[in-house]
Amino acid sequence: MRIRAIARDATKVRADALIVALFQGVKRPDGATGAVDRALDGAISKLIADGEIKGKKGELTLIHVFGNLPTSRVAVLGLGPRRSFNAEVVRTSMAEAARAMRRIGAKRIATVLHGAGAGGLEPGFAAQAIAEGTLLGLYAYRKQVKNADAPSEVLELTIVETQRSKLREVRDGLALGQVMAESTFLARDMSNTPANHMTPSDMADAARKVAEEAGLDVTVLERDEMERMGMGAILGVAKGSAEPPKFIILKYQGDGDAPDRVVGLVGKGVTFDTGGISLKPAAGMASMKTDMSGGASVIAAMRAIGLLKPKINVTGLVPTSENMPSSTAQKPGDIVTALNGKTIEVDNTDAEGRLLLADALSYGRQIGLSPMIDIATLTGAISVSLGNVCTGAFTNHQPTLNRLMRAAAVTGEKLWQLPIHDEYREQNRSDVADVKNTGGRNAGSITAALFLAEFSESTPWVHLDIAGTARMDSTKGYQVKGSSGVPVRTLVQFVLDSANRRSRRRVA
C-alpha cells in the first residue's frame, strides 16, 4: 500500500473515501471535520442532532456526498470520550474503519490527522498510530489461497494535514509506523505459515533475507557446531525430528563507540510442537505452528531495528527446532547438559521451549549480551492467568522491565508482571540433575520463568510469555485472526528508547 501525507484542505482531497473524526458528546464539529460539515451543508451536524452520530469509539457513519466534495464518500469515525482518548484509540478505530472501507471497495482512502488537535497527540505520533492501525487492521494471510474471492485491496492511504509546517513530522511518523507494521507483518506471516513451509531451515532462510534487507550480520549454527559447543538442551529437543535444528544469530551494530554494550533479544523457535513423547492431544494441535512466534518476533524486530538505524547494538538469538515423537526422540527422565554446564532432567518432553532457551540464554551470557529479553510461547498456564489480553512478564532486574513496560504503554501491547519468588524454585528441584524442566501444575508460568533464570543467571533479564497473546481467535481492532505479531513493536520501541537514553547520557 502507498502511504503519504499532504498539506491540503480536507474538502479539496480526491479519494474514494475521506475519514473525519468526532469525539463523543460533541454537538458541533470543528477543525477539519467542521470544514467538511460546512461543505456538506451541515449534514454531519444534522446527524448528530438526530442522534444518528454519537461519536462513540469505533462508530462509523458513511455519508454519500453526491458531488459536493471531490471525495466519493465521507466516513465519520467516533473516537469516544475525549478524556479516555489515546494513540491506542486511533490504532483500533482506524483498523476497523479501514476494513469497512475495504468492504465497500474503496481503494484510495484519505483521513484527517486524528488526535493531533483537540486529542493532544503529537502530529508525528498521531500519524504513526494511523499507519499502524490501518496497515495492521488490513493484514491478511493468503499465501496458500488460490481462489478468486480474495478481498479487494486498499491501494493508498493519504493523511491530510492543513498546516504545511507539520508535514515533515507527520511524514516521519508515517514512515516509522509503516516500518513497525510491516515488520509485524513478517512475524505474523512466519507464524501463520504451515509448519511444512516453515521448518528450522526456512526460519534460517527468513533471517538471511532480513539480514540482506536491513543490513544485519547473520550467522546460522548447524547441528555439528552446536554439538561442539555443548548445546545439549536444544539438541535433545531436536533428536526426534528429521529436520535439522538451527541456531540463528542476527547482529545489528549501530554504536561503534560502545561495541561491548549489546542488547540481547532471544526468541523461542519451535516450528512445530507435538509435545514429543509427552504427546499433546489432537484437538488444537494444528495451532502449534505458532510455537515459533517468539523467534519470529525477534527476527521481525531485528528487521525494524536495522531499517531504523538507532545508535545502539542489538543481537537477536533464535534457537529453532521441531519437537517430534520418534524412535530417536528424547524421553521423559532423560538428562541433558546445557551450554553453561548445568544438567537438566527432562521431566516432560512437552516443556521443550525452555530447553531451547536454556542454551540460547547461556550463549547470550557467554558473548556478553545485557540486558537480555526472551520471548516465548512458553506455558498454557499464562493463558489461564491472563487470557489473550496481556503478555506475562518476569524479571530479575526491575529497571529493565520498567523500561520495557513503558515501551509497551507506547505501543499498546499490554504486559503484566508476575512474581518469581525463591519459594517457587523448590518445584523445579530434581533428585538426579541440577534442575528439572517442569515444576508441576501449580504456578506453571512462574516455575517456567524460574527455570530460565537458571541460565540468564546474574545478567539483567526479562522473560515474556506470549502463549496467550501470540495468536487471536477472532478479528478485533488491529488484531486480525491468527498470529498477532506481539510483541514486535514493543521490542523495537524498547530499543529505540534505550538508544535515546544512552545518547542523553553521553550529552550530559
Instruction: Please state, in angstroms and rounded to a whole number, the distance separating the CA atoms of residues 133 and 58.
Output: 12
Selected catalytic residue, list 239, 251, 289, 354: 354
Continuous segment of H or E residues that includes residue 431: none
Instruction: Please state, in angstroms and rounded to a whole number, the distance separating the CA atoms of residues 184 and 300.
Output: 6
The CA distances from residue 141 to 85, 109, 185, 317, in Å, are 31, 22, 9, 26
Helix H, strand E, coil C: the string for 289-314 is HHHHHHHHHHHHHHHHHHHHCCCCEE
Ordered strands of the 435-436 beta sheet: 335-337, 343-345, 435-436
Contacts of 418 (CB under 8 A, 6+ apart): 385, 392, 393, 394, 445, 446, 449
DSSP string, 237-296: HHTT-SSPPEEEEEEEE--TT-TT-EEEEEE-EEEEE--TTSPPPSTTGGGGGGGGHHHH
How far is C-alpha 95 from the geometric centre of its chain's CA atoms? 16
Instruction: Please state, in angstroms and rounded to a whole number, the distance separating the CA atoms of residues 128 and 284.
Output: 36
Instruction: Please state, in angstroms and rounded to a whole number, the distance separating the CA atoms of residues 119 and 112.
Output: 13
**Are the C-beta atoms of residues 417 and 400 closer than 8 Å to each other?**
no
- Looking up cell 494471510 gives 141
Burial of 229 (0-12, 13-18, 19+ CB in 10 A): middle
Question: Which alpha helices (DSSP H) does 16-63 contain, by range?
Answer: 31-39, 43-49
**Are the C-beta atoms of residues 218 and 339 closer than 8 Å to each other?**
no
Note if 280 is an active site residue: yes
- If one counts every other C-beta atom within 10 angstroms of the C-beta of residue 260, the result is 7
Q: Is 1 helix (H, G, I), strand (E, B) or coil?
A: coil
Please choose, from the candidates 404, 417, 420, the residue with its C-alpha nearest in 3D space to the C-alpha of residue 490.
404
- Chain length of the chain: 508
Q: What are phi and psi of 402, to 5 degrees?
A: -60, -40
- Looking up cell 527432562 gives 346
Selected catalytic residue, list 54, 280, 311, 481: 280
Please choose, from the candidates 245, 370, 262, the residue with its C-alpha nearest in 3D space to the C-alpha of residue 311.
262
419 residue type, one letter: P
Give the count of alpha carbons within 13 A of 288, CB side only.
Answer: 23
Note if 429 is an active site residue: no
Please choose, from the candidates 202, 397, 225, 204, the residue with its C-alpha nearest in 3D space to the C-alpha of residue 316.
204
Which residues are known to be catalytic?
280, 354
